[in-house]
Amino acid sequence: MATLEGKVALITGAARRIGAETARTLHAAGATVVIHYRNSSEDAEHLQAALNQQREDSCFLVKGDLLDMATIPALIADTVAQAGRLDILVNNASSFYPTPLASVTEQQFDDLIGTNLKAPLFMAQAAAPHLQANHGCIINMVDIHGLRPLKNYAAYCVAKAGLLMLTQVLARDLGPTVRVNGVAPGAILWPEMVENHAMHAEILAKTALQREGNPTDIAKTILFLVRDADYITGQVIPVDGGRLLNH
| Dist CA 64 CA 74 (whole Å) | 9
Strands 32-37 and 8-11: parallel
Q: Hey, how many other C-beta atoms are within 10 angstroms of the C-beta on 243?
A: 23
Selection from 166, 172, 241, 165 nearest residue 208 by Cα = 241
Residue 12 and residue 8: Cα distance in Å, rounded? 13
Cβ burial, residue 20 (10 Å; 0-12/13-18/19+): buried
Tell me, yes or no, if 37 is annotated catalytic. Answer: no
Q: Exactly one of 37, 97, 153, 156 is catalytic; name it.
A: 156
What is the DSSP annotation of 172-222?
HHHTTT-EEEEEEE-SSS--TT---HHHHHHHHHTSTT-S---HHHHHHHH
Please list, residue by residue across 134-157, b when 16 or more beta carbons sit within 10 angstroms of its beta carbon and e when fewer do.
bebbbbbbbbbbbbeebebbbbbb
Active site residues: 156
